[in-house]
């Protein structure tokens, strides 16, 4: 899951640590969310990720729920 999102992270932020820093969360928290360990992303986190990674609102489901 989140394959498209992970690709966008690498393209824009280069790695998860950089995205976590921009989101003001711990890198382990981001890693856990991306690997379905623990809590899912909150709506606020999804909004922040979309802003940072320049994901248009109409494409959110492609990145977070795998729809094409």
Name the residue ranges covered by the structural domains of the chain: 3-64
pLDDT, one tens digit per residue, over 15-57 is 999 999 999 999 999 999 999 998 999 999 999 999 999 999 9
CA distance 53 to 11: 9
Hunting for tokens 């976590």 — which residue is that?
A: 20
C-alpha distances in Å from residue 13, one per residue of 9, 10, 38, 39, 41: 5, 6, 23, 23, 18
- 3-64: CATH, from 1.10.3470, 1.10.260, 1.10.10, 1.10.287: 1.10.260
C-alpha radius of gyration, the chain, whole number: 11
Q: Quote the pTM value.
A: 0.90
> Mean pLDDT for the chain?
94
Q: Is the predicted pLDDT of residue 68 greater than 60, yes or no? A: no
């Amino acid at each position: 899951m989140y394959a498209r999102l992970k690709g966008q992270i690498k393209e824009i932020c280069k790695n998860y640590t950089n995205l976590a820093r921009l989101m003001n969360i711990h890198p382990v928290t981001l890693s856990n969310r991306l690997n379905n360990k623990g809590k899912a992303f909150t709506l606020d986190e999804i909004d922040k990720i979309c802003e940072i990674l320049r994901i248009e609102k109409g494409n959110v489901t492609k990145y977070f729920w795998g729809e094409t």
